[in-house]
Structure 1
Amino acid sequence: MPEYRITYFPIRARAEPIRLLLADQGASWTEDEVQLNDWWAGKCELKKTAVFGQLPQFQDGDFVLYQSNTILRYLGSKFGIAGSNNQENAFIDMVNDGVEDLRQKYSRLIFIEYFPSTPQEWQTVASQFAAHWDFPNCGGAIDGKHVRIVPPPHSGSYYWNYKGFHSVVLMAVVSAQCDFLYVGKNGRMSDGGVFRQTEFCHRLITGGLDLPPDAENVEGLPFVFLVDEAFGLSDHLMKPFPQRTLTPERRVFNYRLARARRVVESAFGIMASRFRLLLTAINLAEYKLNYVILCCCILHNFLRKLSGNQYLQPIGPEAGLILPELTGLDHALPGLAPQTAREVRDHYVSYFNGRGAIPMPADQ
């Protein structure tokens, strides 16, 4: 078989239709990844020679092509799935151009309006958490859920989890208004390792999220994301104190964290109630499964923004209904958190029991 090679960034985007076409035709290919930061900084030699200075690049042996739609037309003709006459080719081009228009119209909705990319945009997200949930300097609530699947043929125990069924893990960062800011999927790691394998975690660790500096935050505290016991404590990940170590002051912190973090549970619950495919064992090829899950998240954001309260209207016990739940992650194994992370959490404890205090429910 011919040796196909795709050179692109470590994202789906323009290269994904090419991958889907090759997979649909049973063809194999290899990939070379180009780091986005290197490309934008002009450190990648390929950018100097690439036609139009763009990727993806596609190689069929010694034959090299650029422009994703051109590559798709070439492969369609090569695999015999292009039009059999000029009229069919024209219809295919019409549909392709329509998809291109749709992609451009919704790219801002999906990728730009939701995921913050500057300190100012992160501060906008944080201001919503402070206004709605009284938790300052918060960039989002993080959680992961198991989505049941019918395992692909010959996959063995690849997708088997500790819960006793086959699944992929949907990891998400959610805003104060229940929008999905980031979604990632992983199917083969144990619960404790799922988040560490996401692009979001890598960028968080390496400073690639461009978070606001401490000096610009409330009380000069670090910018943080809220997690539960399934995650490890770090300088930018705040988790609750264990029950065995609770003091009155720590109890206040746990209450404030749980109050703000429930948006991610609500987002998963609302999405599952609207797109009930997520509550069944999905029987699709993995590359199709990725798109189904991502599409559910995108539609959730779109409907939340378009319909607002109508889409988010009560659907749980308060409405006399049982809120469907996706299976959560196992708690992380206990371990000693970094000293700096414990100090950050203690600073938030002091703030919530001092100048940032709010009235507490009697049962808390």
Structure 2
Amino acid sequence: MSALDTSPTGTRTAPRAPVPDDSPGPGTAAPPPGQFKALAKGMTKELVRDPMALFFSVVFPVLLAGLFVAIMQLTWAGGPYKIAVVGSGTQATELRDALGDGSKVTAVGSPRGAPEGTEAVVAPSADGDTLRVVTDPESPSVVSALRDALPQTGWDGREVDAIGTDGSPPFEPMPFVVPGVLVFALMSLALSATAGTLVSLRANGTLRLLRTTPARPQAILVSLLPARGALGLALLAVAGAVATALGLLTPLSGLTMLLTTVLGMWLLMAVGFLLGGTLRSPELTNAISGLLTPLLLMGSGVLFPLELMPDGLADVLSWNPVALLGDALRHDVSGGVTRHQQWLDWLLIAGTAALLTIAAVRAFRWDTEKKN
């Protein structure tokens, strides 16, 4: 019989098309149970074995925070500050007497007005629950000094409603430093511990080798996220504990800080995957990350306040995604100076993260060899 079948009547028929093989091939097979767990465990070991990634993601931000605090103690924490407690009621008199020791702030003046050289004017409300403070912009830490002095005077727990003589909120160092260090840590996690790791895995052929296994390509890439997500949440827990100890964070604002951090991690991880999936050498990745980090920190109001820049430039820079992340986090801490509504920060961060995620997926390459 020929290769072509014949019908019972002898009529030749066309060859039958082969039945398609529905069994999944390499890279498309359904993963066996526990495969993702094994992949995530392997990627976690890869992260733990990289001391530089852990150093720049965890240790260096903590050292930076300590440096910032030391600088603040030397440059901002002056005093004792001269404040004028105005008002003729019992509350004003008691507060003026309580602040008379001069340890942090020294009460001067009288109901008739504040004398020359006064850094702040304080007016207690009738019930004493709120202290309205007008500060000199040239003395940015006077509000912090006042907050520190209140527990020693028996006036702790009072709300401090402060504003500068120029109408702007007074700058308080710690509400600025805590969100800034958290942003820096998350940025380092995305650039050093994600982009750098991805390029190394592509360069040494690990990702290409994993694609020959039954593992789904999506599972291979997503397996990098659990360890980094856990590390990011650990960084948030440390920052939250510090903020709570300083009286800057409440349970409700802690929940919104969690949401902000999750959105920020999405944004920065998308950047990490975009760089890690397109750059060809670990050396180039480290160079670009080393250049991007200080530019983003200084140009986003995370490392230095945007208020130190010209107004026009500060307004423009306040809309970049990293600046929006810092702004959203400062909404969550008491005394944080913000520029935009938090819901707007969240919306723009999520929108930018979605666009970067799409770009990272489309541009991703599984190895570092240049295609002809």
TM-score by length of 1: 0.27
Greater Rg by CA: 2
In terms of fraction of residues, the more helix-rich structure is 2
- Pick the structure with more strand per residue: 1
| TM-score, scaled to structure 2 | 0.26
